Amino acid sequence: MDSTGHSAQPTPAWDRPRTAVVTGAGSGLGAAIAHRLAAEGARVGVTDVDIESATTVAADIAEAGGGAIAVEMDVGDQGSIKAGMSDVREAFGPITILVNNAGITPSAKFLEIDGETFDRVMAVNLRGPFQCCQAVVPDMIGAGWGRIVNISSSSAQTGNARMAHYAASKGGLISLTRSLALDLGRKGITVNTIPPGFVETPSLHAAAEAGELGEGIHQHIPTTPMRRVGQPEDIAAAVAFLVRDEADYITGQVLGVNGGRTIV
């Protein structure tokens, strides 16, 4: 177990070595997912627009005995996506697991959302995952096996005040998931989405600090059936299940991990 409390001792979840890419893996959900996949035996491309944070996560994984490489990647830029995937492929071979986690969560009143901001949210949160999928699906087709997990948001299911652009982008990600599941199922590739809700991440704390959660995070715990704040490891566990060989008959699904706050 490393200094962050993550264990990366391989307990293989697949019948052969797998290479995974996790976007936005320098912190929060992405870091937890990268650690968990490494712990299950995957070789992980830890990608993030912040290369320093990605390097720290990859180093922690390596220190704990896992395989990881840090890659600078801006999912809002197609050239950056192609270059980043190429770096992972060169280090570990064909990419057969993709977790589209990177995203931005701006908040603004509806009439104050300008076109530039809207386009940036869509570029990162929706077009980015679309282009990441295009970059790695040929590897998956070649292997006859693949796993794609898109991290959407409970905001896509319920809506969210002051986040119309964000909720719309995540709603599009759910629709993209279902469509790709239909397109790729016969190729041995599953595509699922997890919409987290009320999970302790930097963005949740930023929302609390901005006064968008009323009296703070603690105010919302009693309204959560599980009576606690979700942890990044809760999301990572769900991702780990969906990418295992045993999940071969699960595709096109929306698996809410939200402590029961959203049931759709």
d(CA 2, CA 8): 8
Question: Is the whole-model pTM more than 0.85?
Answer: yes
- Tell me the β-bridge partners of 193: 150, 254
> Which residue type is seen at 262?
T
**CA nearest neighbour of 191 among 232, 235, 133, 236:** 133
Phi, psi of 47 (to 5 degrees): -110, 145
**CA nearest neighbour of 21 among 105, 110, 91:** 91
Q: What is the pLDDT of residues 103-141, one digit of tens each?
A: 999 999 999 999 999 999 999 999 999 999 999 999 999
d(CA 108, CA 111): 8
Q: What is the pLDDT of residue 13?
A: 82
Q: Which fold has domain 19-247?
A: Rossmann fold (3.40.50)
**CA nearest neighbour of 158 among 225, 254, 30:** 254
Q: How many C-beta atoms surround the C-beta of residue 157 within 10 A?
A: 20
pLDDT at 261 over 80: no
> Which residue type is seen at 197?
G
d(CA 241, CA 247): 7
Q: What is the pLDDT of residue 132?
A: 98
d(CA 78, CA 250): 29
Any catalytic annotation for residue 249? Answer: no
Q: Which residue has the higher pLDDT, 157 or 140?
A: 140
Q: What is the pLDDT of residues 188-240, one digit of tens each?
A: 999 999 999 878 767 665 555 555 555 556 666 677 777 787 799 999 999 99
Catalytic residue among 145, 166, 176, 180: 166
